[in-house]
A and B are shown apart, each in its own frame.
Chain A
Amino acid sequence: MAVSSDTSQKYDLGFARWVYQNVKGGDKLSMCMQCGACSGSCPIGTEMDHGPRKLIMMVRAGMKEAVFQSNTLWNCTSCYRCTVRCPRGIPVTHVVQGLAAKAVALGYASEVDTARFAHSFWWSVTHFGRTDERLVTAKYYFSFGFIAGIKKSLDNLKIALGMVMKGRMHVGLPHKVSDNKGLRAILEKATEIEMRDKQGGAES
């Protein structure tokens, strides 16, 4: 589906159906009765602009732009409380994460801070098999541009030094898994399987 840059079009009447068919667990969204158990159970619900319940309603209402721009997609910590407690058996966590994946694929995520962070995190994992605090933060800060990166780094220098002093931040070469080549091979295989499943029409 093409991305519409026309934000004046607030309701995309085909959006709900598209989500039902293309987002993992989306086919269960029609079961939602808007009880609020998911948003009320969310440990960081107060940090979300909409929360899962409202997000589901927005999907059904066809508010495509607002859904993909929502921070709810990115603040989810995958604790699965919503999924466990949903009285209608909706895999809420999967839906939220599925929408986040679609937001990346459709180019909505580049402007979202949490998405930038997730991207930096993934970069560290794929390159080293580990997350290195310094590299993840640096990658994240500099994703805002060179000058912004320097500024953000300086702003947080005190915290970083404090962490080093307390032994909470590693100094020296980045941690690595011993078999980095093997990790690469695993990730390549996983990507290959994912692509094959997508082409085979399996749930994305």
Chain B
Amino acid sequence: MNQGPASQTILVVGGGIAGITAAVEAAETGYEVILLEQSPALGGRVSAFSRYFPKLCHPTCGLEINYQRIRKNPRIKVITMAKVESLSGQAGDYTVLVKTKPRYVNEKCTACGDCAKATDVRVSNSFNYGMDKVSAAYLPHEHAYPQKFVIAPEVIDTPDADNIKAACKYGAVDLDDTESVFELKIGAVIWATGWKPYDATKITPYSYGASPDIINNLEMERLAAHDGPTGGKILRPSNGEPAKRVALIQCAGSRDTNHLPYCSRICCLGSMKHAVYVREQYTDAVVDIYYIDIRAHDRLEAFYRRVSADPQVNFIKSKPGHVEIEEDGTPVVCGEDTISREVYARSYDLVVLALGMEPSALTDTDAPHMGSRDDYGFIVPLPGDEPGLSSAGVAGGPLDVSMSVQSATAAALSAIQAVRKATAQSGALE
């Protein structure tokens, strides 16, 4: 087994809440960690939430603490806009090829924002799921870590790029920045590649895309967020009027053999949180939650009791058959109330589809080898299968934030065990 000194460096792929946690835990235990993130800032899905359930606190709080831990720890190296191209080898001796996209902004950036004012070009704002636009020179979002601007590739090689460069007082704009590919020697890999919402257009009866007033649960988070497209006001995307009759449809694409056969675990609580968002804003609002079963386990049941005590939030035991669109664009939810046997057709200001979670890496055709996957594409390396590969957070299966953090700590421990064992076997230790 003597193949030279083994690497003890742990690579964490994905800089969401799970990846951040795994990186911080491993680094604070004394290991070198490289944290890769494919977008320009850490924080992942969590940073785009308005608030957490069940306490309804703001995610920026928990993330900020973690960013401090990263900043203070010399053992963590964060690489943004990076993707793993390929992986080969074994525990203690992986060769990982990483590819980074150009940011066109270097470490001198102070996030002053002068560059953003130097161009009129607007690009789709991916942080708000394309619901609004931002300047082509943009900060990913107000709590972005690292606090560095990004220049959209759309303006590169145009006069606007030169204006942006000229506006920067710090010499932080680097228009010659290019894609780069480099190799890393790694001891163990933690996949924290997270999730994406199920494609709502595949659920044709629910008419997503046929009316701007039919949105998904992630877009609802942005509508409620103070830094979202509406400044935190829950307004109808069609006409900007307050959304006071709101339908929340559970299991949109989940627990469904036509779509995702599994339960995504978070949507029930997420939608109850959305009901609270609406009711906090409008005293006369009515929210109808259409569900198969409410899955609020253990302590989360207290949140269910709290929300169901509101007489203007109705829990309707029914999986709607379809959503029709009236001539004026109003969405109408149609189905059968399974308790009263009433066949209903009700119109709403806003319909929110609680989409399930799909593993991000699922449809990535050029994804590297990541270890064993389950039937649904989640990465669940079997014990002893490939000790150097583990998964954290939703990369391994649907979890809420607190469970993701727990799984990340577990993954950090697996990675540490893997590199220690590999080092012992290679004879470099002891």
Q: Which residues of A contact B (CB under 8 A)?
A: 33-42, 45-46, 50-51, 53-54, 81, 84-89
- Which one of A35, A41, A85 contacts B338 once the chains associate, using CB atoms below 8 Å? A35
Do the beta carbons of B257 and A89 come within 8 Å of each other? yes
Give CA–CA (A41, B321) in the complex, Å: 4
Residues of B close to A38: CB separation below 8 A:
321
Query: Nearest Cβ in chain A — how far from B314, in angstroms?
Result: 15
Give CA–CA (A51, B338) in the complex, Å: 10
Interface of B is mostly: loop
Do the beta carbons of A88 and B335 come within 8 Å of each other? no
- Which one of B205, B256, B343 contacts A39 once the chains associate, using CB atoms below 8 Å? B343
Do the beta carbons of B256 and A36 come within 8 Å of each other? no
Residues of A close to B259: CB separation below 8 A:
87
Give per-residue flags for B307-329: 1 if the beta carbon is below 8 A from chain A beta carbons, else 0.
Answer: 00000000001111110000000
Give CA–CA (A37, B323) in the complex, Å: 12
Do the beta carbons of A36 and B336 come within 8 Å of each other? yes
Give CA–CA (A54, B341) in the complex, Å: 8
5 closest residue pairs by CB, A with B: A40-B335, A41-B321, A40-B321, A87-B256, A35-B319
- Which one of B255, B334, B335, B343 contacts A87 once the chains associate, using CB atoms below 8 Å? B255
Residues of B close to A46: CB separation below 8 A:
343
Query: Nearest Cβ in chain A — how far from B176, in angstroms?
Result: 53
Do the beta carbons of B341 and A51 come within 8 Å of each other? yes
Do the beta carbons of B343 and A45 come within 8 Å of each other? yes
Within 8 A of A (CB), among B260-317: 292-293, 317
Give CA–CA (A42, B322) in the complex, Å: 10
Q: Is B251 an interface residue (CB 8 A)?
A: yes
Residues of A close to B258: CB separation below 8 A:
84-85, 87, 89
Do the beta carbons of A40 and B257 come within 8 Å of each other? no
Considering residues A36, A51, A54, A86, which has the most beta carbons from chain B within 10 angstroms of its beta carbon? A36
Do the beta carbons of B319 and A37 come within 8 Å of each other? yes
- A sample of 8 more A-B contacts (CB under 8 A), given A40-B322, A40-B335, A89-B258, is A33-B292, A36-B336, A36-B338, A40-B319, A40-B321, A42-B321, A81-B321, A85-B205
Interface range on chain B (Cβ under 8 Å from partner): 20 to 34
- Given the known interface contacts A36-B335, A45-B336, the answer about A87 and B341 at a Cβ–Cβ threshold of 8 Å is no
17 cross-chain CB contacts under 8 A:
A33-B292, A34-B338, A35-B318, A36-B337, A37-B320, A38-B321, A39-B343, A40-B320, A40-B334, A40-B336, A41-B334, A45-B343, A53-B336, A85-B205, A85-B321, A86-B257, A87-B251
Query: Nearest Cβ in chain B — how far from A70, in angstroms?
Result: 13
Give CA–CA (A141, B5) in the complex, Å: 93
Residues of A close to B341: CB separation below 8 A:
50-51, 54
Closest chain B residue to A37, Cβ basis: B319
Query: Nearest Cβ in chain B — how far from A47, in angstroms?
Result: 9
Do the beta carbons of A37 and B257 come within 8 Å of each other? no
Give CA–CA (A38, B337) in the complex, Å: 11
Residues of B close to A85: CB separation below 8 A:
205, 258, 321
Closest chain A residue to B342, Cβ basis: A46
Do the beta carbons of B336 and A87 come within 8 Å of each other? no
Give CA–CA (A38, B255) in the complex, Å: 15
- Which one of B317, B335, B337, B343 contacts A37 once the chains associate, using CB atoms below 8 Å? B335
Residues of B close to A33: CB separation below 8 A:
255, 292-293
Query: Nearest Cβ in chain B — how far from A81, in angstroms?
Result: 7
Query: Nearest Cβ in chain A — how far from B374, in angstroms?
Result: 20
Give CA–CA (A41, B323) in the complex, Å: 10
Do the beta carbons of A40 and B343 come within 8 Å of each other? yes
